[in-house]
Structure 1
Amino acid sequence: MEQGYKRIKLKIKPGWDIKPLEIIRNNFPDVPLLADANSAYTLQDIDLLKALDNVNLMMIEQPLGWDDIIDHGELQKQIKTPICLDESILSLEDTRKAIKLNACKIINLKPGRVGGLTEAKKIHDLCQKHNIGVWCGGMLECSIGAFFTLSLATLDNFIYPAALNTNDYIDDIVTYKCLAENGKVNAPNFLSDFGVNEDKLRHYTILSKTMTMR
């Protein structure tokens, strides 16, 4: 929080869920907190998932299997915590089905997972039409990839803080780095802010060929 992050996400699984979340919530009663289950639970865990309502989470991300859209709809009926679908959403059609079945209230939209920016924009628009909030997740992109993810996250219906990679750990071949300052990342100008670091390009080049055009 001191570094300016706008929310905290805790990975959970059976045996590592209620207790750590309660510890965080008791010590930081106002921190925006979400839990990411990465498909670790089933509907047989319904009592435990109901108990998460007491922790006041922003959302629980992908509590059930990636292909369990129907079960997510059943779960959302029984818990107050908003369900966020992540791995379940691979396309606009997946999004339509999830909305039809009331399987979630939030979607983590990753352009690299759904097939690119065009499909991501369609999903954003459909979610906006049906009052499904979205946020933009990263997939360990390089700085150029992070730029496109960041640009997508500027659309109107991205109402939750994005989870973008701050690429200070990547020895990138471009001069721009996607870095956060006080919890914010400025959207760069692709034409003026990106340049090729020629030394690093040469360092990582494994093959080159010169072609003469006639």
Structure 2
Amino acid sequence: MPRVCGLEVFRLTLPYGRRTESILVRLTDYGGMTGWGEVVDPDPKAWSILQEQLAPALIGVDWEHPDELGVVPGGPAGDMACWDLWARMRGVPLAHALGGSRTSLMATVRVSGDRNLESLVARVNRHVCAGYAHITMDVHPGWDVEPLRAVRLAYPALGIGLDARGAYTDIDALEALDAYAPSVIERPFAVPGGLTDHADLQERVAAPVLLEVGSAADLQDAVAAGAGRALLMRPAAVGSLREVRRMHDIAAEAGWEIACAGGQGTGLARAATVAAASLPGCTLPCDVAEPPRSAQIVTPPVGATGGVVAVPLTQPGLGHGIDEDRVRRLAKESHRA
């Protein structure tokens, strides 16, 4: 039975790209076992909540399973740390603790826009040569049909997902992309505009519309509206891994495909993404390809090799060691309780 006797919270600004912020949580059990969690791009109030509310919610509290804890204060970092601690104490990998069955995952790699089509095709070629059988292209009005046609002509058998990042308002423009057999059309419209446009688009295209939602309740609404046939799930952005499993079960029961994504952070959140992606309904390629491995604080680093992501099954919990010295060097602020 886990019983937390101490915790530390670290606030990091990561030294790459747009300098994403992460908050890490380290829990310690009376037996000396530790569990780690991470929230990436946290809510502005997350730091103060973790400082003030996490210790009273966890320290000295007996629990048999993380599900018993309900909503852990401060978002997914504390919840992830509880799952990691519990799985390590049980000697089981997090993937199996969640109900996962896969030992490896097909990976996708993101390809951003390029002014030159030849340059775009050359970049895709590098990924194909590295072993990727699937890419995800960013598209937006004015940069969609021509680049997609160029890549499809160069690689007829390549899996190509399209990420619109909510940039479209014209269903006709998206329907034109369906002629080039994309594997999914991801986030075509801004969800606050309602689910009707998503449902209308799904009726007009063969490709699954891949919808990102943050809760099981939102997913149930999307399924009821026929707003797509695929779920984009970011475990590190969902409040708990229990909610991740609920979302997986709802999507799978509805016959939706599932893609797991979570490329930012120190590697901890990505490790949880890999564990969630091992669930049986997560049949679409997993997106954990970025940022660079050198930016991670976990060993071995989380990422794809030859277009495949290994699910760590030989070590308990998240399945990765933590470079605690690097965590402390990168931390711009820390709190202990």
Q: Out of 290, 293, 306, which is 1:182 matched to?
A: 306
Worse-superposed segment, 22-31 or 64-73: 64-73
Deviation, structure 1 residue 123:
0.5
Amino acid at match of 1:37: A
Report the secondary structure of 1:47's partner residue: helix
Contact 1:143/1:176, CA 8 A, preserved across alignment:
no
Bigger relative contact order (CA 8 A; separation at least 6): 2
Residue 160 of structure 1 is matched in structure 2 by 284
For the aligned residue pairs, the C-alpha RMSD in angstroms reads 2.3
1:54 aligns with 2:179: yes
Contact 1:166/1:180, CA 8 A, preserved across alignment:
no
Gap runs ≥5 in structure 1: none
Residue 26 of structure 1 is matched in structure 2 by 153
Gap runs ≥5 in structure 2: 1-127
CA offsets per residue over residues 146-169 of structure 1, 9 Å max, x none? Answer: 111101000000011100135534
Structure-to-structure mapping, 1:1-214, within 5 angstroms: 1-42=128-169, 45-67=170-192, 68-86=194-212, 89-166=213-290, 168-188=292-312, 189-190=315-316, 193-205=319-331
Identity %: 29
CA offsets per residue over residues 57-76 of structure 1, 9 Å max, x none? Answer: 11110111122222211221
Worse-superposed segment, 33-42 or 70-79: 70-79
Report the secondary structure of 2:165's partner residue: coil
CA offsets per residue over residues 122-181 of structure 1, 9 Å max, x none? Answer: 000011111001010114032221111101000000011100135534433333311321
- Aligned residue pairs: how many? 207
- Residues 198 and 39 of structure 1: is their aligned pair in 2 closer, same or farther, counting only changes over 3 Å? closer
Task: Give TM-score scaled by structure 2 length.
Answer: 0.57
Whole-Å separation in 1 of the counterparts to 2:197 and 2:317 = 45
CA offsets per residue over residues 32-58 of structure 1, 9 Å max, x none? Answer: 01111011111xx22222211211111
Deviation, structure 1 residue 108:
0.8
Worse-superposed segment, 168-177 or 30-39: 168-177
